[in-house]
Amino acid sequence: MSDVVLAALIGAVASIIVNLISAGNQRRKRAVEEAVKDERLENRLNNIEHKLDIHNGYAEKLGSISTDVAVIMNDIKTLYKLKGD
């Protein structure tokens, strides 16, 4: 083989190796970015679920409070009737 062909082959092999290393680094970088993005999304979803749980607790309490108010109103009406007698 001539020196020119050998130099061209060495240059091509070096270029391929550099490209493979660069592609591997980019894949790792994207994987880390995706992991960070997924973690943020998971945190947001957990936060929303927590807020939803709190909200649902209020809805349950509101139903109980509504029932209690109805009972109190009946008691007040009964007291007014007794006072009028």
Tens-of-pLDDT digits for all 85 residues of the chain? 688 999 999 999 999 999 999 999 999 999 999 999 999 999 999 999 999 888 888 777 887 888 889 999 998 998 888 877 6
**Number of domain units in the chain:** 1
Say which residues have a Cβ less than 8 Å from residue 11's Cβ, sequence separation at least 6: none
Q: Which residue blocks in the chain are alpha helix, DSSP H?
A: 3-84
C-alpha 30/C-alpha 28 separation (Å) is: 5
Which domain covers residue 6, as residue numbers? 1-85
